[in-house]
Amino acid sequence: MAVVHQKGSPLFGQAINYGLGGVACLVTSFFMVYSSMDFLHVIGIGVFLLSGYLFSQCSRRCSGSWGEHKALSALSKELPDQYHLFVNVSVHEKMESDMVVVGPNGVFLVEVKSFNGTLEGGVNDGKWVLHKVGRRGGRYTKTIKNPLGQLKRNIAILSQYLKLERCSAWIDGVVLFPNDDTDWFDGVPDKCFWEAKSVAKHILCFEPRRLLSENLMGKIITSLEKCQSGSAMTLDEFTDKKQALQKGRA
C-alpha cells in the first residue's frame, strides 16, 4: 500500500460553506415571504432562488470531494509501499493538482474528474461536451474544458517547481474519471482512465529513461510536502523564482 501524504480536500470545505449559506438563505427567505411587509415578499423570493443556487454548488463540490476520496482510497491500495501519494498539491495560488505519485520510476500527476454522463471530445479539442440525462428524463448538454489541457499545464508548473527545488524529474500524467456513470462516445482518449486499478497499472508499467535514486526521491518528497503546508507561493513569487533560475543559466 502506498504511503499517503494527505491534506483535507478544499472541495469538502467549500461544500460545507455553500451548504451553510444555502440553509441561511432558505431560513431568511421563509421569514421574508411570510412577513407583513409586501416589499420583503419579493426579496424573499430572490433569496429563496439564491438558496437553490448555493445548494446546487454544495452538491457539485460534495460529488467532487467524494470522487477524490474514492480515487485516493483505491489508488493507494493498488500501489506498493515504495510509492508516495500526495493529495491536493499547490505549487502556487493558481495551481492545484488532485494527486501526485512519486515512485522509483518517476513522478506522476493524477487529475480526478467526477463527471456523470457521456463525454464527447478528443485529446486536442479545447472543449469537450458532456451529455447528461436529468432527474426527470430530460436530456441536455454542457460544455466543459478539456481536462487534458489542465493536466498538461499542471505538469509544466510542477516540472518547473522541481527544477527550482534542484530535484527535477520526468513527470507523466493521467486523468481519472472515478464515477461509474461516466462514458464516452468515441472511445476513451489517451491518458484518460476509468478505474484507479488501470491508473496504478499505468504507473507501475511506466519505463523511464532512468530510475530515481533514493536521494532524489527523498528530495522530491520533501519538496512536495512543502506544497501541502497551506503556504503555497503566490503566482508572482513563482514567476520571479523561475525567471531568476533562467537568468542564472544564461
Residue 219: CB partners within 8 Å, gap ≥ 6?
Answer: 165, 166, 167
Q: What are the phi and psi torsion angles at 236 (to 5°)?
A: -65, -40
First to last CA, the chain: 44
Closest CA to 195 of 183, 182, 175, 178: 178
Q: How many domains does the chain have?
A: 1
pLDDT of residue 219: 96
| Separation of alpha carbons 159 and 147, rounded Å | 18
Residues in the chain, pLDDT under 70: 7-16, 18-19, 22, 30-31, 33-42, 53, 55-70, 134-138, 229-231, 248-250
Which residue is it, cell 536521494? 215
Neighbour-count burial for 161-196, b at 16+ CB within 10 Å, e otherwise: bbbbbebbbbbbbbbbbbbeebbeeeeebebbbbbb
Helix (H) or strand (E) holding 68: helix 38-78
CB 48, CB 25: distance < 8 Å: yes
- Percent over 90 (pLDDT), the chain: 31
pLDDT of residue 83: 95
pLDDT of residue 11: 54
Strands (E), the chain: 3-5, 84-89, 97-103, 106-112, 117-120, 127-133, 139-145, 171-176, 182-184, 192-193
What's the whole-model pTM score?
A: 0.77
CA dihedral 187, 188, 190, 196 (to 10 degrees): -150
Q: Provide the 3-class DSSP secondary structure of residue 144.
A: strand
Which bin fits 124, alpha (ψ -120 to 50), beta or left (φ > 0)? alpha
The CA-based angle 94-99-100, given to 5 degrees, is 95
Write out the residue range of the structural domain in which residue 107 sits.
Answer: 3-249
| Separation of alpha carbons 155 and 196, rounded Å | 19
pLDDT tens digits, one per residue of 156-185? 999 999 999 999 999 999 999 887 777 887
pLDDT of residue 201: 93
CA 102 to centroid of chain Cα atoms: 17
| Separation of alpha carbons 74 and 85, rounded Å | 12
